[in-house]
Amino acid sequence: MSTLESLQHQIDELQTKLAFQDDTIEQLNRIVSKQDEIIRLMQAKFSLIGDKIQTIESNLPNKAFNPDDEVPPHY
C-alpha cells in the first residue's frame, strides 16, 4: 500500500468516525432537549402542588396538628 493510499484510507476512517460522532451528538441533543422539557413540566407541576398545599394550610384552623393528641379509632 502506497503512502497516498494509506493516507486516503486514514482520511476515510476519520470521515466515518466523524459521521458517527455527529449522529451520536444529534441523538444526545434530542434526548437532552426532551429531558429539559420534562423537567420544566415537572417543576411547573411541583410549583402548583406547593401552591395548593399553602392554600390548604392557610384554610386550616390555627391549632397545630399533633398526632399524640389523636385517639386511634380502636379506643
Q: Is residue 75 a part of any domain in this protein?
A: no
Q: Is residue 29 a part of any domain in this protein?
A: yes
pLDDT of residue 43: 98
As for how many domains the chain has, the answer is 1
Structural domain harbouring 45: 22-49
> What pLDDT digit, counting tens, does each position of 16-65 carry?
999 999 999 999 999 999 999 999 999 999 999 999 999 988 887 776 76
Q: Is residue 33 a part of any domain in this protein?
A: yes
Q: Is residue 26 a part of any domain in this protein?
A: yes
Q: Is residue 56 a part of any domain in this protein?
A: no
Q: Is residue 7 a part of any domain in this protein?
A: no
CA 36 to each of CA 20, 25, 43: distance values in angstroms, whole numbers, following the listed order? 24, 16, 10
**Alpha-carbon gap, residue 6 to 10, rounded angstroms:** 6
Q: Is residue 32 a part of any domain in this protein?
A: yes
Better pLDDT: 66 or 45: 45
pTM summary value: 0.61
Q: Is residue 71 a part of any domain in this protein?
A: no
